[in-house]
Amino acid sequence: MQKEIKDLEQQARQLETTTEERNHLFDKARQYGERFLNSLSEKPAYVDEQSMGKGVYDLPFDEKPKDFDKLLDLLHSEVDTPGLNPASGKHAGYIPGGGIYPSAIADYLAAVTNRYTGVFFSSPGAVRIENMCIRWMNDLVGYPEGAAGNLTSGGSIANLIALVVARDNSGIKAKDFNRAVIYTTRQVHHCVVKAIKFSGLQEATLRTIPMDDRFCMKADALEKQIKADKKEGLIPLTIFASAGTTDLGAVDPLDEIGAIAERHDLWFHVDAAYGGFFLLTDHGKEVMKGIEKSDSATIDPHKGLFLPYGSGALLVKDGEKLYDSQHMSANYLQDTYKATQEASPADLSPELSKHFRGLRMWLPLQLFGIQPFRAALEEKLLLTRYFYDEIQEIDGIEVGPEPELSVAFFRYVPESGSANTFNKKLVNEIHRDGRVFLSSTHIDGTVYLRLAVLNFRTHLEDVDLILSVLKEKIQQLT
């Protein structure tokens, strides 16, 4: 048996690379990354390629090793070329974009050291870093000492946890789920509807409260509906408000909603996944006044802090309520219970297996300081207003309300024919061209184009190019 073990050991040791092998891999990877970043300004924002990355299937998994250069070539041709390029400053169609470089270094360090951040006992320093990030965000939102939170993969999981905490805190039983009511608007992110399903509340009533002409929730209509539901014997459970809707960038009247939630004893959650970090700016503080009244909030560092995808956060004003909802013990973890100086992430979320997600946020904040992030966010606000003013100089353009944050929507109305058909053609032509990327949406059956400026690489020259491409394509189609 020992001989068999030793034979297997020799084969298994291939997984432990030597210094020379590591240097070779790292140098090749670094060069690849440098080529990618140094050519970003020339790269299109979108490549409409027919094969759509099918070439990855040309290298199936098998018993034999493959050359790293060949694998990098495949990544370049099949992964990093076709489709949308969110790293491009000319990408202004969907909200997350970019990915600041120090976060990539942080991910490398976190993966090499492989610290486990599920429980404080296992990696106290790493957990302290994650909790430090959470405390900073709680301070930003205006939550008091005793607030808690969790770094998640994104807003979807953060919103799901928030809804589960609201459900558990309410004390309602499964037999009453069909009487529970959740209040939001039609502009709420669709992940909230998913969260209702995954939390077991699919039988609950989802009330879509009317919006004003800026697509913000009408506070008086909300209170009227809550009172009507109580009279009918229903159980108002939670309010999901938005601080920057993904579709249009609208911010609900958080101050008024917070007062209503307090009067009627409802859990008040704010989905600030997109808009939350604008609290670093004076404008953001003004439009999101009242967010501190919420019981919980979602905020995504991979949006407003420009981190790579996979960086979300849930914040909860009363940390004990988050703990009571999510904590669960296990016999094999009994040795970890003696370390209690800091809250363990595994006690505050569904995740037990957890990589060192917080390092990608902590490192750039320490390296750069907060000021460049604030400046970038203020720049994005101004760029959006600049675009909003300039796009109206094109004859035939119809715009939505003045942008609240960094999303603007608009459409071209032709002199004849269907405006919806024209604008679908317009966005398709922009995608075919590929130099810039915008997305489309529809509101009450009307098709609009969207500009979403939240990439740290998007600057004035990029917005001017977007305007130029729009003018060019409109002329071609008319």
Q: What is the pLDDT of residues 421-475, one digit of tens each?
A: 999 999 999 999 999 999 999 998 999 999 999 999 999 999 999 999 999 999 9
- Give pLDDT tens digits for 166-184: 999 999 998 999 999 999 9
Q: Which two tokens stand for residue 361?
A: 């946020």
Fold (CATH) for 108-368: Aspartate Aminotransferase; domain 2 (3.40.640)
The C-alpha atoms of residue 455 and residue 86 are separated, in whole angstroms, by: 8
Looking at 283-391, which runs of residues are DSSP E strands? Answer: 296-299, 312-316
What are the tens digits of pLDDT across the range 111-143? 999 999 999 888 999 999 999 999 999 999 999
Where helices occur in 343-444 by DSSP H, the ranges are 359-368, 371-391, 419-433
Per the CB < 8 A criterion, the answer to whether 124 and 130 are in contact is no
- Nearest residue to 343 (alpha-carbon basis) of 143, 115, 128, 165: 128
- Confidence bin at 333 (pLDDT 50/70/90): low
Residue 128 phi/psi, 5-degree rounding, is -60, -40
Is pLDDT at 331 greater than 70 in this prediction?
A: no
- Starting from the edge strand earliest in sequence, which strands make up the sheet with 205-208, in order? 148-152, 312-316, 296-299, 267-271, 235-242, 180-184, 205-208
319 contacts 146 by C-beta, under 8 angstroms:
yes
The class level of CATH for 371-477 reads alpha beta
Rounded Cα distance, 228 and 93, in Å: 40
How far is residue 436's CA from residue 447's CA, in Å, rounded to a whole number?
Answer: 19
What percent of the chain clears pLDDT 90, i.e. is strictly above it? 85
Q: Is the confidence at residue 339, as pLDDT, over 80?
A: no
pTM, two decimal places: 0.94
- Are the beta carbons of 274 and 95 closer than 8 angstroms? yes
| Parts of the chain belonging to CATH 3.90.1150.10 | 371-477
SS3 label, residue 351: coil
User: Which part of the chain is CATH 3.40.640.10?
Assistant: 108-368
Tell me, what amino acid is at 50?
A: Q
pLDDT tens profile 29-77: 999 999 999 999 999 999 988 889 999 999 999 999 999 999 999 999 9
The three-point CA angle 141-145-146 to 5° equals: 105
The predicted pLDDT at position 221 comes to: 97
Check whether 321 has a pLDDT greater than 80. yes
Among residues 372, 374, 375, 366, the alpha carbon closest in space to that of 106 is found at 366
